[in-house]
Amino acid sequence: MNPMRFSGQTILVLGLGKSGLAAARLLSSQGASVIAADNRPLADLPAVNNSVQNSEIFLVPESEVNLSGLSRLVVSPGVPLDRPLLAEARRRGIPILGEVELAFEFLRGPIIAITGSNGKTTTTALVGHILQQAGIDCQVGGNIGLPVTAMIDSSRFTRWNVLELSSFQLETVDRFHAQIAAVLNVTPNHLDRHGAFDAYAAAKGRIFRNQRSADWAVLNAANPTSAAYAPSTPASIARFCGESASLHDGTIQVFGQTLMPLSDIPLPGAHNQQNVMAAALISSLAGVSHSAIASAVSSFRGVPHRLEFIRELRGVRFYNDSKATSVDATLKALEALPGPLWVILGGLGKGASYSPLLPQLRAKAKAALLIGAAAAGIAHDLEGHLPLELSLTLDNALASAFRQAQPGDSILLAPACASFDQFLSFEHRGDTFRQLVENL
């Protein structure tokens, strides 16, 4: 890597979350003068302190940014693209790129890129686990774990980069190219950011940008939006819940051969059967044998905050699905677990209706305990159909649910909302829930 790639350039990084900070550090290491802007004060950005003190970046409030003299602008995934500052940068002809696009300029090795409204974290982690167990060199990152810019130094031309990518990351890709690209499903999500479902689906579809005939696109034949991407890529198509991978007589079939019985999958729920089919297809295309895939799937224990079993106390089981930040993800969790359930819902809403949860809630839930900024909106959609409690905070909701729960019940955190009203991230919310449960 040329250590002076951006020597003499002044580059603005907008948004100093994990990805923005990694991008700023990369640019500084490449010789750029890095200006970083965020709406939050430095006191709320503890990870940024070292970079400021070491003069890697110069931090300014977003309201004080001067666009004059900038060579380019790097936008973090969490920053909406309709910000006035970005509109002015476009008017001035300043190139704007995202953290993933910046990383692609430097990243070595083939890329597996995975997106979807639900299941992308589990599927990405599972693909990484399968490759590692099979002895195939890989590293995992993106929307899970390391930002892509933080994966560059450890990338190798013979090492697979297994990337989970969100719609926020994908809407700014341009030259990015994945040898294997997968869209697991697309259901309404992030409408508060994208405005309309078509715009959200279009952002997801950018994962196929720049694919070639020698590449592979992995699609879900059971999800109409995923299936409809087929004409948008010249790559060969592999379909799960379709001709390439399917369920048959209690087994998963991949490319016409039996992979494994469903009973050997350690993850609960029909949605995880789809995740396993997708991961098996991707891993097979990356060169893993069926026997190695089956063995690795059997030893996979899932990811934190995704239907994570915490403990059983007095006959009550506790599950952390803080990663369920959309209505559809919460629906998958409700479908996966037997009742009776006490379900904790709420956080920062994304503009979607909560009514699709009603059939499963009516069938399985003793009550829904509502927290966070979206509590009133959730109550409006669910009122009159099942008991509701306006708990407002996570500790109140858990205490109330446990006080009323009977042996055989389960308490499920599956918020159907983002976490940023009361927590730093869904991980912070899930860790808090786990600690509260362990303290009972």
Catalytic residues: 120, 143, 190
Q: How far apart are CA 147 and CA 391, in angstroms?
A: 35
Q: Mark out the alpha helices in 261-390 (DSSP H runs).
A: 270-285, 290-298, 327-336, 358-364, 375-382
The strands making up 316-320's β-sheet, listed across from edge to edge, are 308-313, 316-320, 410-413, 341-346, 365-371, 388-392
Q: Is the peptide bond before 80 cis (omega within 30 degrees of 0)?
A: no
| Coil vs helix vs strand at 48 | helix
Q: How far apart are CA 169 and CA 212, in angstroms?
A: 21
Q: How far apart are CA 394 and CA 398, in angstroms?
A: 6
Q: Which string of b and e fits 127-138 if b means at least 16 CB within 10 Å?
A: bbbbbbbbebeb
Handedness of CA 301, 304, 306, 312 (dihedral sign): positive
Q: How far apart are CA 362 and CA 352, in angstroms?
A: 19
| Coil vs helix vs strand at 162 | strand
Structure tokens at 412: 């499920």
Burial of 405 (0-12, 13-18, 19+ CB in 10 A): buried
Q: Which string of b and e fits 262-285 if b means at least 16 CB within 10 Å?
A: eeebebbbebbbbbbbbbbbbbbb
At 386, give phi and psi (nearest 5°): -165, 160
Tell me the DSSP string of 65-127: ---TT-SEEEE-TTS-TT-HHHHHHHHTT--EEEHHHHHHTT--S-EEEEE-SSSHHHHHHHH
CA distances from 99 to 210, 345, 426 (A): 18, 32, 21
Q: Is the distance from CB of 220 to CB of 240 less than 8 angstroms?
A: yes
